[in-house]
Structure formats: C-alpha cells, structure tokens
Amino acid sequence: MAQKKKNIMTSPKAPCKWAFLSKPNTKWKEEGEYKVTLVFAEDDPFISKLTELSNEAFEETKAGLKPAQAKTAKQVLPFKPELDEDGEETGNVEVTFKTNASRIDKKTEKVIQMKPRIYDSKNQLVKKELMIGNGSVLNVNFSYVPQFVKGECYLSLYLNAVRVVTLVEFAPDGSSMFGEAEEDGFDADEFEGGGTEDTEEKVDDDEEF
C-alpha cells in the first residue's frame, strides 16, 4: 500500500482555545494527545485554502475508489462553525490541530514521544513549560494528510509546532478570570483581621445579596 502523502504548512496567526500543549489531554486516549483550536472568520483566506485542499483530496480519493464507493463517499471539511454559549453560530469557524503524545516505531518497536515544539514570537525555542490559555494568539505549523474512513474523506491536521505571538497565561486556580490585578485595593497578604464571626451583623445562609 502506498504511503499517504504528508504536506506541511503554517497557519496565519489567530486566537486559540482549548490548548493542550504543555501536557497531553488523556480524556479520550490513554496515551494522550496534544491539541489546540484556532478561531478564524468564515471568510478568512486560510479557511478558503483549507476548503481548496479538502476539495482536492476528496476528488483524488474518489478517483481511486470503486464506482459504488465513490458514489456514496462524503466530504468532511477540516473546520466547523464556532458556537456561543447558547449554541448559536458566531460567524467564526474553529480549526483543530492535534497529534498523539506518543507512537511506536515500526522498526524498533520503541515508544517515541511526540510533544510539539513551542516557539516565542522571535522564533526562539521555548524550553520551559508554558501554560497557554484561551485567547493567546498563535501560529500553528502542521501536516495535512488525506484520510478515507467509513465512507468519509477528510484531512487530518497533525500538530507539529506552535509559535506564541501573544500569550494569555492559563491560571489553574481561576484567578485570570478577573483580568489584570488592581494596583491598589485589598491584599490578602496584608490582611490581619478575623473571620466573619467577629462582625456585628451576620448574613443568613438563605439571604440573597
């Protein structure tokens, strides 16, 4: 069987969401996978390019199928509409890139780690662990490979490397939800008071603020 052709390209910079780049996501695969989603406008030239590549892959795949298979083959585009909290389309589309955290070498049967490389905006390799949060602006270097599985033709977008143009650092404790810290105001490190038991008025547990 002929080896699938692997092509490499780099995406334009775009804001990201759901980045698993420092540690793999193990929710769906035991070995884990690295992944990141970039958000583009529907009319972005990059989306047009992905559509063109998908169309070419679909036609080439159908040409190699039996007539009955070609007739029922379906094309799956490598992006999907972005939805808001109410499930409504935002006018943007999401493109997800991913790769397994490890693979087994066919010749040596050894496990090879597949962690994507991360670069800063100056194209310097980042060696320390970087927690990349939603809203960070990235370029993604990826390989695209046509696939035909169960009657569906699609492009697999394999994550190779990421360039961080603008970093929004992820805060596991949720502190980043408030934006930048206030220069003046309450500082827990300077607070020496007691708990609410010492106040004159107490708030009933069922009382609304």
**pLDDT number for residue 190:** 57
| Per-residue pLDDT tens digits for 89-142 | 999 999 999 999 877 777 887 877 789 999 999 999 998 888 899 999 999 999
Let me know: does 34 contact 24? Beta carbons within 8 Å: yes
- Rounded CA-CA distance 142/95 in Å is 12
Chain mean position to CA 78: 13
Greatest mean pLDDT among 19-33, 78-92, 181-195 lies in: 78-92
- DSSP β-ladder status, 7-10 and 137-149: antiparallel
The two counts, helices (H) then strands (E), for the chain are 2, 11
Q: Which residues of 94-123 are buried (b: 16+ CB within 10 A; e: fewer)?
A: bbbbbbbbeeeeeeeeeeeebebebbeeee
| Domains of the chain listed by start with CATH number | 7-171 (2.40.50.140)
pTM of the model: 0.77
| Per-residue pLDDT tens digits for 179-201 | 555 555 544 455 455 444 444 44
